[in-house]
Amino acid sequence: MTAAFDFKQYLRERRADIEQALDADLPRPPACPPIIADAMRYSVLAGGKRLRPILTLASAEAVLDHDGADPKLREAGLALTMPAACAVELIHTYSLVHDDLPAMDDDNLRRGQPTSHVVYGEGVAILAGDALLTHAFELLARQPSNEPFGSNERRLRALGRLAEAAGAVGMVGGQALDIRTTGAKPENGEAEGPLSTTAELREIHERKTGALICAAAGTGAVLAGGSREIVAAIEAYAAHLGLAFQIIDDILDVEGSAEELGKTAGKDAAFSKPTYPMLYGLRRSRELATEAVLAAQQALADAGLSGPLHEIANWVVTRNH
Ligand code: GRG
């Protein structure tokens, strides 16, 4: 009989593996000046849930298990996916560093500690974000010495997929919509125009948060050699998951405390940002998040996929930070 799957233990182990790989992969002096190395490490190694890189690894696992990979191949496949998982976390961290800047959300607390520009100044914080983004693509472009024959093409596909999600059609585009419609700080008066429709809210979320979550999962599936159908199923799962994640993020901004969240709470209301609780109320928002999680899990079941992705969906909707 197989022992019951301990999801908490799984998360602990994956986080430890990811943090070790991030620590090893970040540039150090004398390869780069100490100030930029310090600022990059400060934000990346400050904690965080590591949801996106865990998704990359879990998606690769789901593909390898679906294809019946033997244990040795499975381990090798996961090891090859780790640089991509780290790249995803570096892109996410860059977005947080830039989002916290005075020109954007102007926040002074992130992951439970002062934001990058508070510690290093605006100029270095901007550069640290730039360096994290470019380093992510350096990691993806590097060919591991033990890469199996033929997987160069997969790496290229994964790289293109992540670049698209991070750029103008994804996260940068979503952030541009967000600051255009809601970016005015309270003391600066009205934002350009109130954003009120659920379709607009959904578009911002899909680009700003959903695209990277989707690409995190898709990248793992592509690198593990998933067929087009399996990659599509994992991306469908991740699209529902991204929506659930964002709805819960909006709810936590209302219900959570800065201590629990490690970032300033109540900012959406202070900036009159349209959110799911604002448009639907808290109760309906929770229902919508649960519906999105069930849809995510259904996408897995329909494709015959198993493993931690199912529990990750439950975690996203029950989290308190
Ligand atoms: C600057 C191009 C650019 C984009 C910024 C991601 C983003 C776009 C802004 C962050 C602001 C925000 C609160 C977005 C909502 C969802 C989100 C990304 C929350 C933070 O992600 P978590 O909860 O953070 O996974 P940790 O710290 O756990 O990694």
Q: Are 316 and 51 in contact (CB under 8 A)?
A: yes
97 lines ligand 1 (CB under 6 A): no
CA atoms within 13 A on the CB side of 126: 5
Percent of the chain surpassing pLDDT 90: 71
| pLDDT at position 5 | 84
pLDDT in tens, 275-300: 899 889 999 999 999 999 999 999 99
How far apart (Å, rounded) are the C-alpha atoms in residues 308 and 117? Answer: 36
Q: Tokens 């909006």 map to which residue?
A: 250
pLDDT in tens, 29-54: 999 999 999 999 999 999 899 999 99
249 lines ligand 1 (CB under 6 A): yes
pLDDT in tens, 157-210: 999 999 999 999 999 999 999 888 764 444 444 444 445 578 888 999 999 999
Tell whether the model's pLDDT for residue 268 goes beyond 80.
no
How far apart (Å, rounded) are the C-alpha atoms in residues 102 and 106? Answer: 4
| pLDDT at position 224 | 93
95 lines ligand 1 (CB under 6 A): yes
**Domains of the chain, earliest start first:** 7-318 (1.10.600.10)
pLDDT in tens, 203-242: 999 999 999 999 999 999 999 999 999 999 999 999 999 9
48 lines ligand 1 (CB under 6 A): yes
Q: Are 233 and 299 in contact (CB under 8 A)?
A: yes
Helix axes 71-99, 171-182, angle to 10 degrees: 30
Question: Would you call 111 exposed, middle or buried from its count of C-beta atoms within 10 A (0-12, 13-18, 19+)?
Answer: buried
pTM check: above 0.75: yes
The alpha carbon of 96 and the centre of ligand 1 are apart by a number of angstroms equal to 5
| pLDDT at position 187 | 44
- Report the nearest-CA residue for atom 5 of ligand 1: 95
* More confident call, 105 vs 4: 105
SS3 percent helix, strand, coil of the chain, rounded to 5, is 70, 0, 30
The alpha carbon of 187 and the centre of ligand 1 are apart by a number of angstroms equal to 23
Q: Which residues contact 271 (CB under 8 A, 6 or more apart)?
A: 182, 184, 185, 186, 191
- Report the nearest-CA residue for atom 19 of ligand 1: 249
